[in-house]
Amino acid sequence: MSLDNTGHSKILTREEVSHILRVHPTTITRYAMSGELSSYLIGTRRLFKEKDVWAFFENQADRKCVAGKGQ
C-alpha cells in the first residue's frame, strides 16, 4: 500500500482500481454503488482509497478454500 508524505492512503481512480483488481471499470462502479467497495464522490468523480481497495480484495477470499474444503 502506498502512503503519501502525510501518511494518507493513495487516492485511486476507477480505472486504476479496475487495473489493480483486473476487472472491468463497470464492475468497480457496481461494487462502489452497492457499498461493497468504499468510494468517495468528489463532484462527478468517484475516487477510492488504496487501503480500501486492498481491504475489499482480502474480503473476497474464496470461503471454500479458506475453510479447507476446496482446492
Cα separation, 22 vs 19, in Å, equals 5
Q: What is the CATH number of the domain that holds 31?
A: 1.10.1660
Q: Are 29 and 45 in contact (CB under 8 A)?
A: no
In a domain, 2, yes or no: no
**Tens-place pLDDT, residues 35-63:** 999 999 999 999 999 999 999 999 988 66
Three cell numbers written together for 9: 492512503
In a domain, 55, yes or no: yes
Q: How many domains does the chain have?
A: 1
Could you list the residue range(s) of the whole structural domain that residue 57 is in? 11-66
In a domain, 48, yes or no: yes
Secondary structure of 14-63 in HEC code, one letter for each residue: HHHHHHHHCCCHHHHHHHHHHCCCCCEEECCEEEEEHHHHHHHHHHCCCH
In a domain, 1, yes or no: no
In a domain, 3, yes or no: no
pLDDT band at 14 (very low <50, low <70, confident <90, very high): very high
**Tens-place pLDDT, residues 16-40:** 999 999 999 999 999 999 999 999 9
The model's pTM is: 0.78
In a domain, 5, yes or no: no
